[in-house]
Amino acid sequence: MSIILAKTVNEVKSQVKEWKARGLSVGLVPTMGYLHEGHQSLIKRAVAENDRVVVSVFVNPIQFAPNEDLESYPRDLKADCALCEATGADMVFNPEPEEMYADNFTTFVDMTGVTKELCGKSRPTHFRGVCTVVNKLFNIAMPDRAYFGQKDAQQLAVIRRMVRDLNMNLEIVGCPIIREADGLAKSSRNTYLSAEERKAALVLSKAIFEGERMVQSGEKDGEKVIEAMKSIIKSEPLAKIDYVEMVEWDTIEITRNLSKPVLVAIAVYIGKTRLIDNFIAQ
């Protein structure tokens, strides 16, 4: 059977209800499309752990600020559907913005605390948009499990907190970062990079690997780890730091205490392209 391409909320709901009536479990992989091996790893995990898998492909307008790349964000629905089908997904949900947000849409899911630092500091409206659309996708697809990549680690923490705080009946599954052969974390935004910028972007993974090495070697001074990582990034002329930060993994509060699980996360502009990367020290 070829993959189902659903464009409306009702199409998804009716199909999922039919699956659930047969006792089948449903996995959801929310994406903004332009799928790569990182997304594919989430879909593979979902296929392995569920009877049916829905992949949403939706560039969510309300998580972009006015000066961000909503219009230029890469899109290729045909390639996305081919990858989903080849990987074993059963449905691609690709709504238009009007299908998700009616003209008089006024309800949003907001969060405090976990969204304050890191990307929440430099993109203050971002997580309201993320939480709102993910909440909607959970209500539409009614999944038993939903899959998110660790590359967007703060997003993963935010979604887990939302599910816990609002008593949602599903499991959130975090999946490892997938990297290019040279170490750069896979991202749809990597396509924005020129050849020179692509080479310069390796400074992100170099900083991450060095920070991780220091922690694994027994470094207990979080400030030393942060400064070493900043030094590596600053050595690249095309790189401009948005943040290099260490936070508690469950609360996303700033810390330098390496005796409990921490997320060490970076956001760096390479030219005009903002890229993120991280590691988790347990």
Give the contacts of 89 (CB within 8 A, at least 6 positions apart): 3, 29, 43, 46, 47, 53, 54, 55
39 part of the active site: yes
Nearest-angstrom CA–CA distance, 16 and 28: 11
Measure the CA–CA gap between 177 and 181, rounded to whole angstroms: 13
Sign (positive or negative) of CA dihedral 204, 206, 208, 214: negative
- Name residue, tokens 């997304």: 39
The span from the CA of 49 to the CA of 64, in Å, is 32
Positive or negative, the CA dihedral 258, 203, 228, 154 is: negative
Q: Choose, from 6, 12, 33, 39, the residue flagged as catalytic.
A: 39
Helix (H) or strand (E) holding 154: helix 153-165
DSSP character for 199? H
Rounded CA separation 139/163 (Å): 12
Taking the C-alpha atoms of residue 255 and residue 118, their distance in angstroms, rounded to an integer, is: 12
Tokens of 114: 């976990």
Catalytic residue set: 39
